[in-house]
Chain A
Amino acid sequence: MSDTMDIDIHRYVDGEMTREEALAFERRMEEDETLATRVAQVMTDMAALKAAFPTPPAGHFDTILEAAEAAVEAAAISQTPARAGWGWQQIAAGLALLALGFGAGNLTRGSAPTDLAGDVLAEASAAHELYAVEVVHPVEVPASERDHLKGWLSNRLGAEVRIPDLNQNGLSLVGGRLLPFEQGAAAQFMYEDGEGTRVTLYLTPVVDRQNTALRHGEKDALSMVYWQDGAWLYALVGPFDKTKMTGLARQVQGELF
């Protein structure tokens, strides 16, 4: 079989021929049984290949598109300065949409959204405000017992917890603590710079696996960057500006990877 003939088979099957070319090719098939058989084989193989992959129901794509739009909108709002309070809730709503599962059989469209991301934001900032000012007991387990801290929190959160190293960003680990979150638990790691300014990383495992981009929010004097990486939702809270917080978040992402 010549190469040209072979290429024609594929151009025919893939709809690459003009109408005239296709008609001429069909006439050739009528006269050439080998050619016709080859075309039929390719077509059945490709039908089988297409059938081997599932197709979700149409509503599934609406859900994905709406979540994408919410995320883009949330990111746009977070880039608009000086709308604290309002932007915060918008972002939380967008993230909550993101946090919904999109797996087959898990189409939550129409049901009440769980405001999971919003809750994480609220808890993370509240925990930061509560403990970052603490002088005597800022953490439950100090950085000197790092291995114990890691093992303990991994046990309590039910998945391996990694403690990012932010020394190259001028932040040393103070320690960590276990916190309640909804029906489960969350961990908080605290870091501080040479001047005693503190940054906390709040993390909690979630059921619906997702990966999201970094998103930024402001609340009073606090700046927060949050994202989801697989089964973990993270929120980094601190009094630094957005650029510095985003840089720190990237460092955390790199460390956790």
Chain B
Amino acid sequence: MTRFREELQEALPSLWRYAFALTRDRSRADDLVQDCAERALRKKHLWQAERPLRPWLAKMALNIHRNALRHAAARHIHVAYDEADLTPHALPSAEQGLEAAELLRRVDALPSEQRDVLLLVVIDGVSYAEAAEVLGIPIGTVMSRISRARAALRQEPGGGKPVRLRSVT
């Protein structure tokens, strides 16, 4: 097995979780991860062995996802926030912190630039420096966005809002 394949294989679980965080759908996450893996395999000659693969994959996933959203927006498709896809065992108990569904609603309500940084760092597990590279922003901006995102997640919601559908139009 080549080293490249090994690294790719190791990166897939966190990439999948990141893809799921972006798409909120298992089969779309599968598609996105496979798409990234295909691109990575096709372009592996561009990969420099001393550089970590994970940020490169994350960047691909984000770009492909954004393109898909743009296409969906052009077709006026609303992507529903799919609570049914959350497996029961994955839900944290109440005392662990914010309830999962509520937490995800707040994540969805974040400004996209804050959400991008938060998901990259927390779900995909890349470093601040890598997130800065993926998003093309200074590392200081990564830190301030992380900080603002987490503060916003802590804020009480503004009363009994209806369940939010994530509109991509």
Contact = CB atoms under 8 A, between A and B. Distances in A.
A83 to B, nearest CB: 20
Interface in A1-51: 3, 6-7, 9-11, 14, 16, 41-42, 44-51
Interface stretch (A161-169, A182-190, A205-213): A205-213
A216 to B, nearest CB: 15
Contacts of A133: none
Contacts of B38: 68, 71-72, 213
A69 B4 CA distance: 12
A52 B103 contact: yes
B27 interface: yes
A65 B12 contact: yes
Main secondary structure on B side of the interface with A: helix
A67 interface: yes
Given A10-B147, A64-B12, 19 more contacts: A9-B147, A10-B143, A11-B128, A14-B121, A46-B150, A47-B92, A47-B97, A48-B96, A49-B122, A50-B122, A50-B123, A52-B86, A52-B92, A54-B26, A54-B87, A61-B16, A64-B33, A102-B34, A103-B30
A130 interface: no
Contact of A55 (B8, B17, B96, B98): B17
Given A10-B143, A16-B128, A58 B13 contact: yes
Interface string A65-107: 1011101100100000000000000000000000001111000
A56 interface: yes
Given A45-B154, A56-B16, A68-B38, A103 B91 contact: no
A189 B154 CA distance: 56
Interface of B: 5, 8-9, 12-13, 16-17, 20-21, 26-27, 30-31, 33-35, 37-38, 41-42, 71, 75, 85-87, 90-92, 96-101, 103-104, 107, 118, 121-123, 127-128, 143-144, 146-147, 150, 153-154
A3 B13 CA distance: 34
Contacts of A44: 96-97
29 contacts: A7-B147, A9-B147, A10-B150, A14-B127, A16-B128, A41-B154, A42-B150, A44-B96, A45-B153, A46-B122, A47-B92, A48-B96, A49-B122, A49-B123, A49-B153, A51-B96, A52-B100, A54-B20, A54-B87, A54-B90, A56-B13, A58-B13, A60-B16, A61-B12, A64-B37, A67-B34, A69-B41, A209-B31, A257-B75
Given A16-B128, A45-B103, A67-B34, A51 B20 contact: no
The binding surface of chain A is classed by DSSP as helix
B14 to A, nearest CB: 9
Interface of A: 3, 6-7, 9-11, 14, 16, 41-42, 44-56, 58, 60-62, 64-65, 67-69, 71-72, 75, 101-104, 209-211, 213, 257
